Amino acid sequence: MSWVPRSQVAGASPVTIAGLGAYLPERVVTNDDLAASGLDTSDEWIRSRTGIAQRRYAAADQATSDLALEAGKAALADAGMGTDDVAAVIVATTTPDHAVPGTAPLVAAALGTEVGAFDVNAACSGFLYGLRVGSAMALVEDAPVLVIGAETLSRIVDPTDRGVAILFGDGAGAAVLVPDAAGSLGPFSLGADGRDPSMLWTATGGTRTPVSAAVLEARSHYLTMRGGDVYRNAVARMTAAANDVLQRAGRTIDDVDLFVGHQANIRILDAVAQRVGVDRDRVHLTVDQHGNTSAASVPLALADARHRGRLHPGDTVLLTAFGAGLTWGACLLTWNPDPTSDEGTA
Ligand code: UT7
């Protein structure tokens, strides 16, 4: 039997982002810092190949839930809400505090709530997947849902691997989703291709090959990547997903006021923007300051865009992301914050 859609739920949902929050750890790590640490690289190479100037690293006593908590609290305050208003807490992360339990229950407990709390692991696309699930829950529950993207990637990169160590940073961003008849979130285009996970993965440390002395000696528990393959797939998949949501929405790129893509590499973002047909003026960039923060990158960029006055009521925003899995996604968002939110601050 093939499935026949019965409604328009695959399209845009009447949901608004009522609050945004961001948290970046204090420690700034510049390209020169990495070179000075013994990595065979240079500020010039990193800037020209990636657009990254610096990234943040969590303090030794901070884990992903600590970063997520700060971003979540900031988003709730921005929405003028308390923890009791929230019906669910979703944390998108690929660097959880522990393999078991999930990170979201720890964040919810620190916020002081016992509502449903669970993780979404779709790597760098995780926040978009979180928005998709969170918006559906907000509608069904008729209540706000807190969606957080948070990562401590500095803990899973091999500091001696120059092909990877230069790219990633730590941070967290969050959004409070609320049902709102005047709001619009979607359509979404989400996809995954798990046929070759080794393109970007931690080969060991999971149930396939648990940690052992041999694993530690081989350093295979660290993140490894075939950079060129990831690059090509990122450009192709984000472009296709962005075009797909525009087509599903019956819109064109000219209708888009701001393009907020996964901040992986400025060359990837430029290539996607060029293929989708959006000029640099409408592309928001934070990759120079944050590096690649995986699931945190899109909400951090969104919060930064709002902070810099780049989001105005009624604006159409196009979000795209791509990550390990492979996973990818895009969605449209009408920036229509709740009137109680303090627009212009972050
Ligand atoms: O969320 C998705 C996560 N992943 C990504 O976004 C990564 C996507 N890929 C990329 O961004 C790019 O492939 C990289 C930035 C990782 C690499 O850039 P590239 O232009 O593809 O360089 P390459 O891998 O082709 O390497 C060119 C040269 C090589 O030297 P040889 O073989 O030509 O002598 C590398 O060994 O650059 C060398 N290299 C470096 N040199 C200085 C690689 N990393 C570095 C480094 N500093 N950090």
Q: What pLDDT score was predicted for residue 79?
A: 96
Average pLDDT over residues 71-75: 98
Q: What pLDDT score was predicted for residue 344?
A: 40
How many domains does the chain divide into?
Answer: 1
* Between 337 and 87, residue with greater pLDDT: 87
pLDDT band at 130; cut points 50, 70, 90:
very high
pLDDT band at 341; cut points 50, 70, 90:
very low
> Tens of pLDDT along 252-306?
999 999 999 999 999 999 999 999 999 999 999 999 999 999 999 999 999 999 9
| Cα first-last separation, the chain | 49
Place of tokens 């943040």: 56
Instruction: State which of 40, 49, 223, 237 you would mutate to test the pocket of ligand 1, scoring each by most atoms of that ligand within 8 A of its C-beta.
Output: 49
The whole-angstrom separation of Cα 192 and Cα 194 is 6
- CA distance readout (Å), 201 to 106, 129, 156, 184, 221: 25, 19, 10, 34, 9
pLDDT band at 2; cut points 50, 70, 90:
confident
- Which amino acid is residue 2, in one-letter code? S
* Between 169 and 338, residue with greater pLDDT: 169
Which residue has the CA at smallest separation from atom 48 of ligand 1? Answer: 162
Q: Does the structure show a pLDDT above 50 at 147?
A: yes
- Which amino acid is residue 294, in one-letter code? S
Q: Does the structure show a pLDDT above 90 at 6?
A: no
Q: Does the structure show a pLDDT above 90 at 11?
A: no
Average pLDDT over residues 323-337: 94
Q: What pLDDT score was predicted for residue 343?
A: 46
Nearest residue to 171 via CA among 21, 51, 335: 21
Average pLDDT over residues 321-335: 97
| Residue-range definition of the domain harbouring residue 300 | 1-346
For the entire predicted model, the pTM comes to 0.95
The whole-angstrom separation of Cα 219 and Cα 23 is 30
What number of helices (H) and strands (E) belong to the chain?
11, 13
Q: What pLDDT score was predicted for residue 324?
A: 98
Check which CATH number belongs to the domain holding 200 and give it.
3.40.47.10
As beta bridge partners, residue 201 has 224
Specify the long-range contacts of residues 67-70, CB closer than 8 Å, at least 24 apart: 67/23, 67/25, 67/150, 67/151, 67/152, 67/170, 67/171, 67/172, 67/296, 68/23, 68/93, 68/103, 68/104, 68/107, 68/148, 68/150, 68/172, 68/174, 69/107, 69/110, 69/111, 70/21, 70/23, 70/172
Instruction: State which of 231, 237, 297, 300 you would mutate to test the pocket of ligand 1, scoring each by most atoms of that ligand within 8 A of its C-beta.
Output: 231
Which residue has the CA at smallest separation from atom 14 of ligand 1? Answer: 227
Q: Point out the residues that are catalytic.
A: 124, 262, 292
Place of tokens 């609320």: 178
